[in-house]
C-alpha cells in the first residue's frame, strides 16, 4: 500500500493481519531479542496467534487507539514500531519497538521511532509521546536518548520477566520540545 523509506535498503510499512505468516517467521528469528521486552511476542507462537496479534493492532487502528508497522530490510521483515496506545483526546501516546539481530546497529529503529514521534506530535497534534523500557534494555534506552527524550522517572521493580523483577523507565517527548529539536 505505502512505504516510508528509512534507509536506501530499508522501509517502514503497515503491518497488517494478512502478513501473519511473514510476521510469525520474523518473530521466530527475533524471539530471543523480543520476548523479554514485548509481551505479545511470547504469545505469537503459531499462525493463528500471530494473526490475532496483528488483528488486535488493526482493531486499535480502527478505534484510533494504536497501530503497528513493520521494518523491511532488503525486502525481509526484520523489526517494527508501534503505537502501543494512542489517546487522541488526551493528547498522549506510547511508542514501542523491536527488532531481530539482522536489524541491530543500523539506526533503523531510531529512524522509525523518529517517524512515529513526528507523526504523533506534528501531524496528529498530540502533546506527549511516551517511551517505556526495562532499565536493563540498554538498546531501548539508547533510542530514547538519541531522540532527546526526557527521563521522567523509574518505576522500581514494576515488571517481571521469567521470575525476575526489573525497574521500568518512562521517557517522554513533549510537542514544544520536539518542534525545537526537529
Please name every residue paired with 13 in a beta bridge, in sequence order, or none if there are none: 70
Domains within the chain, CATH numbers bracketed: 4-181 (3.40.630.30)
Q: Is 112 helix (H, G, I), strand (E, B) or coil?
A: helix
Could you read off the pLDDT tens digit of each residue along the chain, which spans 182 residues? 689 999 999 999 999 999 999 999 999 999 888 877 777 777 888 999 999 999 999 999 999 999 999 999 999 999 999 999 999 999 999 999 999 998 999 999 999 999 999 999 999 999 999 999 999 889 999 999 999 999 999 999 988 877 889 899 999 999 999 999 87
Beta-sheet strand order (sheet of 4-7) = 4-7, 10-14, 67-73, 76-87, 92-99, 128-134, 164-174, 150-161
pTM for the full model? Answer: 0.94
Amino acid at each position: 500500500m505505502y512505504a516510508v523509506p528509512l534507509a536506501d535498503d530499508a522501509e517502514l510499512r503497515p503491518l497488517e493481519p494478512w502478513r501473519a505468516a511473514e510476521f510469525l517467521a520474523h518473530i521466530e528469528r527475533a524471539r530471543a531479542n523480543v520476548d523479554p521486552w514485548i509481551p505479545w511476542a511470547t504469545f505469537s507462537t503459531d499462525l493463528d496467534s500471530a494473526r490475532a496479534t496483528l488483528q488486535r493492532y488493526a482493531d486499535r487502528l480502527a478505534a484510533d487507539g494504536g497501530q503497528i508497522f513493520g521494518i523491511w530490510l532488503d525486502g525481509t521483515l526484520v523489526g517494527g514500531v508501534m503505537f502501543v496506545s494512542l489517546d487522541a483526546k488526551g493528547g498522549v501516546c506510547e511508542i514501542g519497538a523491536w527488532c531481530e539481530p539482522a536489524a541491530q546497529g543500523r539506526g533503523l529503529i531510531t529512524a522509525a521511532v523518529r517517524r512515529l514521534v513526528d507523526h504523533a506530535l506534528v501531524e496528529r497534534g498530540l502533546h506527549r509521546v511516551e517511551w517505556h523500557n526495562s532499565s536493563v534494555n540498554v538498546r531501548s534506552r539508547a533510542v530514547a536518548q538519541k531522540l532527546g527524550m526526557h527521563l521522567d522517572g523509574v518505576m522500581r521493580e514494576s515488571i517481571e520477566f521469567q521470575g525476575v523483577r526489573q525497574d521500568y523507565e518512562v521517557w517522554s517527548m513533549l510537542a514544544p520540545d520536539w518542534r525545537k529539536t526537529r
